Structure 1
Amino acid sequence: MRVFITNDPYNQNHMGNEWNNHALWPCKWVACSDVGEPPFVTAYKRHFVLDKDAIIRVHVSADERYELFLDGQRIGRGSERGDAANWFFETYDLSLQKGEHIVVARVWSQGDKAPFAQMSVYPGFILSPQELEFVELIGTGVANWQVKKLDGYEFIPPVAAWGTGDNLIIHGDQFNWDFELGQGEGWQPVIPLEEGADPARHNDYPPMHLMKPGTLPLMLDEANPIGRVCLVSDISSTETHAIPIRSSDNIQAESDAWQQLTHEATALTIPPHTHRRILLDLEDYYCAYPEVVTSGGAGSLVRVNWQESLFNEADAKTKGNRDEVEGKYFITIWWLKDGIGDTFLPDGGQQRRFETLWWQCGRYVEVVVETADEPLTLESLKFRETRYPTEMESSFEANDGRLLDVIPLAVRVLQCCSHETYMDCPYYEQLMYIGDTRLQVLTNYTITHDDRLPRKALQMFDASRLNNGLTQSRYPSRVTQITRSFSLWWVAMVHDYALWRGDQEFIRERMLGVRNVLDGFRKLLNADGLVTFPHGPNFNFTDWVPGWKGGFPPDNDTGITALVNWQWVLVLRQAAELEEWLGEIEMAARWRRLADKAAQVTHAAFWDEARGLYADDPQHQHYSEHAQCLALLQTAHGGKLESGVRKRIIEGLLQAPDLARTTIYFTHYLFETFRLIGRMDCFAERMGLWFGLKEQGLKTTVEMPEPTRSDCHAWGAHPLYHYFASVLGIRPGTIGFETVHITPQLGHLTQARGQMVHPYGDITVDLTANRDNLRGSVTLPDGLSGSLFIAGESLPLSSGRQEF
């Protein structure tokens, strides 16, 4: 029923219109008159009659979000997340038979209680038919639509999950049951607002939604039976955070019934005046909409809370093995509460379906049930998994099982952190940060042909730029945060896309933003030509290095670090390569000139001749792997270091015992450096941050070394990228991946094989190492050629299979 379009749906209708009507839709946004300030939930309905069968194409959006129902059945969710200038709409083909029909939309606006990533212009709803003949029948602002406030929703803070938006208590005795069928009282005429409009609006306009077609496929929506019942216990209070999980408390006689409820939808009745606590292990990490169907049980309570892991202590300090639950606590960090989730209060009616407006996530689910004077029947308890439909299309094999054990964790963390945007983590923030996203996108390029989410990420970060030229650190976000170095990583992301996927037109559209970011950084140069971060908004996160307060490099307050200055040099050189690819030779020369000058002053300020390393700070008090990596990486893009300097940096990077070490996030740049200097023999040792994850019971990669906040942080998926791009050595030979360069570095491995996606098909590399002798085969898809670099030689490659 959902269809995808790429252009303004009414473009043809605008032809010949007066200039002040250009880009306007035939239908209007509509709203409810008496709901007050957010948060609130509303329902819009339109009952109509068709005198013949018809397929009606409609374009639908809402502020902030909607669910669309046709004749009582949900057919869609939206709107895809964006901002005011990129307000997305979804398109549906309604296949309708002659007779009566009803379209209903549940729409909610949470205001300052919304997720940080949920932006808003003003609350409302729009449904606009493509064919003008149906506008008077079902178009909002034209047809006779009605609206009502949906009662029964109480919004509660999400405690530690501060970025995800308020959770819910749903009061069944106030809820408008069967609203999706248009039933109940209190419906009133809608208030018409502004016309829908696309970004080609010619005249001046007030704050409004500039409409664009949704760019992403349907999110996954599967209600598979998941969850193993670990505990069914009797409790005296619904405040369970201080009660450890004890197998001695388990009521074994009831466990099977709870298991059947979750797996077979076999109804379960809880007697009056009963308290039960049920712990479910979903046995993987899930993002899902909980769905509980109840009958009877007036005055009862059903609470469904989520955790990534249980904690060893009642003050939530350490997690230990994630598979273990005995003696642990279901508790939320910082707040020391019962978990994060939603509560449902049945009214005693039959087949009451409780659903949340947004999904929850984690591995463990605690269900708490408290009944009053009536028995409560749970008809079903389901979890509808949702995420971007990313699947692993590539494959990798090697003779080190530890590497292979990381693959399912890396794939799963990418899946759980990919939705309508990328997310740093689904449990705590659900925000798309540039630094995180660059690593997620690079991994995306190596495992799937689908690049729609990477394209959207690049576009949204471009849209986040401020009047100083720099991007915001995360976007979309209704709360502004600035991490200036992340602006540079966005330029690197543009370069990555050009390299791995091409599309000159798309890259050319990004170049205004690229140039603005770089010129914005030029304004940060001090009299010595060094990038200086003055006092002001700047969350200068770099890496979760132990000893670095808040992830900031030492002496962050001085505003001058080698890390950012070498990053500045690196990104200037990448920008020059972009300009050259697009034929902008003068701009390329400008960026190279600035890069060369920046490299000179950075070397002069931070080089420590005695140590043979770059210091992090001008006072030469602190040293890190980070600075050495960035100094070396800029040489991969035309930069130079004196041979003696380069040699000493490499020696220090590999041998100096007192360097601040990269952790999970920045180790990507360390691995890039190992590949560049031909030392992938060091790769396995530094994979130690990942090798223990499976044994610790984790299903996804984590945010930082223990004790970690987040158990599901997708920047930790980047080793999967390096399996293909650094171990097998498959990388674009030219911008657009029109040729391939394969430079294998097996390190400690003796066998490695991989099949990696490419825009033309798939690349297969099969390698066997025997001492210094490397043998194998390479298979390229039709239309692709390149070079194989082994033992100091370059061998030509062409389409098809070739052995060496």
Structure 2
Amino acid sequence: MIDKRWIGAAFAGSVLMVSGADSWQASWIGVDGTGIEITPNPEAVKEGVPDKKRKKKMPKPSGYWTCFRKGIKLDKAPDHAVAKIAVDSKYWLWINGEQVVFEGQLKRGPNPKDTYYDTVDLSAHLKKGDNTIALLVWYFGKSGFSHNDSGKAGLIFDASIDDKPLLSDASWKTIIHPAYGFTGAPHPNIRLPESNIRFDAQKDMLDWQMPGFDDSQWLAATEYGTVPCDPWNNLILRPIPLWKDFGLKDYVNVDELPSVSTGEPIIAKLPYNAQITPYLKVEGPAGQLIDLRMDNYRGGGPPNVRAEYVTRAGVQEYESLGWMNGHEMHYTIPAGFKILALKYRETGYDTEFTGTFECDDEFFNRYRQKALRTLYVTMRDTYFDCPDRERAQWWGDAVNELGEAFYVLDPRSSDLAQKGILELMNWQKDDGTIFSPVPGNYTRELPMQMLNSVGYFGFWTYYLYSGDLETIRTVYPGVKRYLEVWQIGDDGLVIPRKGGWTWGDWGKDKDMTILYNGWFYLALKGQKLMAEAVGETADIPVITARMKSIEANFNKTFWTGKEYRSPGYKGSTDDRAHALAVISGLAQPEQYPAILEVFRTEEHCSPYMEKYVGEALYQMRFEEDAIARAKKRYNYMTAHEYTTLFEGWEIGRKGFGGGTINHAWSGGMLTLLSQYGAGVAPVTPGYETYQVLPQMGSLQFIKTIVPSVKGDIKLELHNQTDAFSINLVSPEHTEAMVGLPKPSGGSVKHITANGETVWEDGQATQLPNGLRFVEETEHYIKFSARPGDWKFSTFY
């Protein structure tokens, strides 16, 4: 959440959170005078040019690795020692030879100018007497779709040790690490700011992080200036945790790995698709090349990241520090080398898988586990579309991902959504438009993804589940500016805008005019709710008038009597357009049977938009069709041996289905199973009031834990022919609106709560303390329950 210590500063009409410059005393430092000159990659700095318009040559390597050391003497072990650290681009920290941080620093881009910084508690690592602080800094040297290059490597280290400063300055020793270099082609595709890593162990400085290492030949660090200092400018507190380090682990097939290499690739298997750094310990001669890459090296088509290790003589061990992802690590080790150990280190976003879901249908249990794995492997510096080809925060993906996270991960995961929301609006252009992915060098607006991001399923969903009103208050002015860019035409509908990339979805048969109006209406719906929440009541009449204009003209223009189709559209009936008509509320109940027939016969949308088709089916109360369609659509990828879900429907099969094997936008049914199947969703922001309105359809059993910001909601549902039961553990400081489902075509005989009859003969009876009758609707008999354990049974 936003740290109250930071002050607001205007930028491009939005608000960003910056540190006060007077809170920093240290200088930015680096290494100069080495004769090394880094030239930015000319392909990487061509902003906003689609791949098809680029020359096909791959980018040149860029960047370098720098070592820093500082010795200090302490009179006693400190009680309090906290360091603020920033670099461009990544760092690793050791104190007294012990690693304290494995890959610190977020990629640059809280806004187009500034830089993030970390805080690290050093108190457990410093001791009385002499201490050695060492950092390895990797400067990418180029921008990409997830990183905004400053143009200069640098480090700032500002620590307070029992109120005494330890500051980076010219007394620090530094050197370019001689062992790191560049591989030959192919290099990673232009979307990635990271380069391949080549490490020549013959040039290594063994134990340079350790106390007692002789750094007398190193250079004195060059001071560049204090905060705010060009080109790093203001420093923004890292809003998400440092990575979770799972430690070095054996591969799943460790017992099958050879003890002596034959020269053929060695395939080391992981338990699931993960973000990992590979480790090896071998014995052999000097000057031999070991190739390190994953099975996902070509994930999504173009080259991603790989590594090379050049051996020194004898026994040696090495861990390549640039993370990769996949299901298998491929080591190509020269023949004759003794293999003493091959391991991997998984790192990732620091959150726990506290949300659970299981049901009587094994298809959905398997699908959900894959969706969870896909979500986790697409979280790090930002939410991103995929962990191999791009690592970019496309906001269509991010909307689906943040929705999934609220049902499977602990509340720390929402910090990543908040970070993305602030970044999106802090990169807003002077003309009011917003674009993604940010941070980075791709500056083209995808209008429909932007409408989704700022609207009901994006920013409003974040607030509804997190209760973080301050973030909504911060970004609301930017949301208003963006939606004012859009205009209503003479026909009372929104005027489509091409933006930089007129993208409605992957696949074919997109009825774009309807999609524009559906997304715009949902954006207005989200804006209206946010305006009410932050007290911007003067905006509401304008927002309402625009919504009413679309309401008055949407069905009149697009509804043919049996389907939605915009004038002039010649393609097949678009299932996406019908999904947006329903979930926006623009479609009316009398249209639902015809819309259902569309969903039963038309399948054009990508896995990204399939989430909204499923949501529409649940909202129309065709839950059995939602289940049946999901099982049909997701069958291939759910049955596949991969542990993650795909970008396209059928990777490797003929027809549409290309892309990567790990795209979390395909996990929308994970959200729907909990939100609608189990029926758990907040009614008021931050779960002060939430609902349990199950729509189980053909499912007979659901057991779930929903990790709300108020605490875990534990729920067990049993759906039988003659009865329905709900076992609920409701956390403190909440009110649960529990709906007991009514049978289709039948009636409820009686309901019990914790063993007492609370409904009989069509009306509520004497209720126990903490339970209140609310209403009877078409589908439910509803009660309000205070926190605690509740067991409801409905008899038909």
Separation in structure 1 between the aligned mates of residue 691 and residue 256 of structure 2, nearest angstrom: 58
- Match in the other structure for 1:501: 466
Indicate if the aligned counterparts of 1:157 and 1:166 stay in contact, CA closer than 8 A. no
Q: Distance in 2 between matches of 1:9 and 1:584?
A: 24
Q: 1:228 to 1:50 in 2, by over 3 A?
A: closer
Distance 1:278 1:350, change over 3 A: closer
**For 2:247, what is the secondary structure of its paired residue?**
coil
Which residue does the alignment assign to 2:611? Answer: 668
Deviates more, 1:666-675 or 1:182-191: 182-191
How do 1:148-159 and structure 2 match up within 5 A? 148-156=176-184
Is 1:478 the equivalent of 2:459?
no
- Residue identity matched to 1:32: V
Note if contact 1:616-1:624 (Cα within 8 Å) is conserved in structure 2.
no
TM-aligned CA distance change 1:488 to 1:127, over 3 Å? same
Q: 1:124 aligns with which of 146, 154, 169?
A: 154
Q: After superposition, give the CA deviation of every residue in 1:681-713 in whole Å (9 maximum; x if it has no partner).
A: 112222223344343212111111113431111
| CA offset digits 1:373-413 (Å, max 9, x no partner) | xx644443221001113332122232212111222212211
Q: 1:413 aligns with which of 344, 350, 374?
A: 374
Q: Which runs of 5+ in 1 are unaligned?
A: 12-19, 198-204, 230-254, 260-267, 309-329, 555-559
Deviation at 1:507, TM superposition (A): 1.8
| Residue matched to 2:454 | 491
Q: Name which of 365, 386, 392 aligns with 1:404.
A: 365
The answer to whether structure 1 residue 88 and structure 2 residue 53 are counterparts is no
Q: Which residue of 32, 53, 70 corresponds with 2:95?
A: 70
Structure 2: where are the runs of 5+ without partners? 9-18, 39-61, 652-657, 743-777
CA drift of 1:511 comes to 0.8
Shift of 1:99: 2.5
1:187 aligns with one of 215, 218, 221: 218
Which has the higher mean CA deviation after the structures are superposed, 701-710 or 155-164?
155-164
The equivalent residue for 1:196 is: 227
Question: Shift in Å at residue 776 of structure 1?
Answer: 3.0
Task: Tell whether the 8 Å contact from 1:764 to 1:780 is kept in structure 2 after alignment.
Answer: yes
Structure 1 length normalisation: TM-score?
0.80
- Post-superposition offset of 1:591: 1.0
User: Is the counterpart of residue 102 in structure 1 residue 66 in structure 2?
Assistant: no
Q: 1:287: Cα distance to partner?
A: 1.2
- Structure 2 residue 408 is matched with structure 1 residue 444: no
- 1:803 correspondence with 2:792: yes
Residues 412-454 of structure 1: CA deviation (Å, up to 9, x unaligned): 1111111122121112111121111111111111123322222
Segment drifting more, 153-162 vs 103-112: 153-162
Q: Deviation per CA, 1:208-259, whole angstroms, max 9, x where unpaired?
A: 3321222222312223534355xxxxxxxxxxxxxxxxxxxxxxxxx95736
For residues 589-622 of structure 1, give each alpha carbon's deviation from its aligned partner in whole angstroms, at most 9, with x where no partner exists: 221111111333444443334xx32225644555
Q: Is the alpha carbon distance of 1:529 and 1:293 closer, same or farther for their aligned partners in structure 2, counting shifts above 3 Å? A: farther
Of the candidates 660, 664, 668, which is equivalent to residue 710 of structure 1? 660
- Matched letter for residue 458 of structure 1: I
Q: Tell me if the contact between 1:78 and 1:90 (Cα under 8 Å) persists in the aligned partners.
A: no
- Contact 1:403-1:691 at 8 Å conserved across structures: no
Inter-CA distance 25–651: structure 2 relative to 1 (3 Å threshold)? same
CA contact (8 A) 2:408 2:707 kept: yes
Cα distance between partner residues in 1 of 2:208 and 2:578: 61
1:301 paired residue among 281, 286, 289? 289
Give the total of aligned pairs.
698
Residues 142, 744 of structure 1: alpha-carbon distance in 2 compared, 3 angstrom cutoff: same
Shift of 1:116: 3.1
- Matched residue type, 2:714: T
Question: How far apart are the structure 1 equivalents of 2:172 and 2:216?
Answer: 17
Q: Which amino acid aligns with 2:396?
A: G
Correspondences of 1:327-476 after superposition (within 5 Å): 334=301, 341-348=306-313, 350-351=315-316, 353-370=317-334, 376-450=337-411, 451-476=414-439
Q: Which residues of 2 match residues 141-290 of structure 1 at below 5 A?
A: 141=169, 143-156=171-184, 162-164=190-192, 165-181=194-210, 183=214, 186-197=217-228, 206-229=230-253, 258=257, 268=259, 275-290=263-278
Please give the secondary structure, in 2, of the residue aligned with 1:180.
coil
Asked whether the equivalents of residues 157 and 167 of structure 1 are also in contact (C-alpha less than 8 Å), the reply is no
The answer as to 2:720 corresponding to 1:758 is no
Give the TM-score normalised by structure 2: 0.81
Q: Out of 513, 519, 526, which is 1:574 matched to?
A: 526
Match of 1:246 in 2: none
**Contact 2:87–2:117 under 8 Å retained in 1:** no
CA 1:344–1:147: 2 relative to 1, 3 Å: closer
> Would the alpha carbon gap of residues 679 and 439 (structure 1) be closer, same or farther in structure 2, given more than 3 Å must change?
same
* Paired residues of 2:736 and 2:785 also in contact (CA < 8 A): yes
Q: Kindly indicate whether the alpha-carbon contact (under 8 Å) linking 2:250 and 2:342 is maintained by their aligned counterparts in 1.
A: no
Give me the whole-angstrom Cα distance separating, in 1, the residues matched to 2:425 and 2:494: 22
Question: 1:185–1:711: structure 2 CA closer, same or farther, 3 Å change rule?
Answer: farther
1:584 pairs with 536, 557, 582, which one? 536
Name the amino acid aligned to 1:127: F
On the 8 A contact 2:279/2:319 being kept in 1, the answer is yes
Return the letter of the residue paired with 1:36: E
Distance in 2 separating the partners of 1:21 and 1:406? 47
1:723 aligned residue: 673
Q: Is the 8 A contact 2:276 2:324 kept in 1?
A: yes
Q: CA deviation at 1:59?
A: 1.1
Structure 2 partner of 1:514: 479
Q: Identity across aligned pairs (percent)?
A: 19
| Correspondence 1:541-560 to 2 at 5 A | 541-545=503-507, 547=508, 553=510
CA distance in 2, matches of 1:9, 1:743: 41
Instruction: Check conservation: 1:50, 1:97, Cα contact below 8 A.
Output: yes
For the structure 1 residues 654 and 10, does the alpha-carbon distance in structure 2 shift closer, same or farther, using more than 3 Å as the test? closer
| Alpha-carbon distance change, 26 to 798 in structure 1, aligned in 2, over 3 angstroms | same
What letter matches 2:222 in structure 1?
I
> Displacement, 1:485?
1.4
3-state SS of 1:614 partner: coil
Contact 1:615 1:621 in 2 (8 A): no
Conserved in 2, the CA contact under 8 Å of 1:223 and 1:382?
A: no
Say which SS state the counterpart of residue 385 (structure 1) adopts.
Answer: strand
Cα distance change, pair 279–605 in 1 and its aligned pair in 2 (3 A): same
Contact in 2 for aligned 1:297/1:377 (Cα 8 Å):
no
In structure 2, how many angstroms separate the alpha carbons of the residues matched to 1:294 and 1:716? 40
For residue 678 of structure 1, the aligned residue among 592, 597, 621 is 621
Pick one of 682, 688, 694 that aligns with 1:738: 688
* Cα distance between partner residues in 1 of 2:415 and 2:21: 29
Structure 2 match to 1:58? 83
The residue type paired with residue 28 of structure 1 is: S
Cα drift, residue 585 of structure 1: 2.2
1:329-381 superposed Cα distances (whole Å, 9 cap, x missing partner): x977756x8x8521111122543x3332320110122211125xxx6444432
Q: Distance in 2 between matches of 1:226 and 1:666?
A: 38
Matching of residues 760-775 of structure 1 within 5 Å = 760-771=710-721, 774-775=724-725
By how many angstroms is 1:133 displaced? 6.3
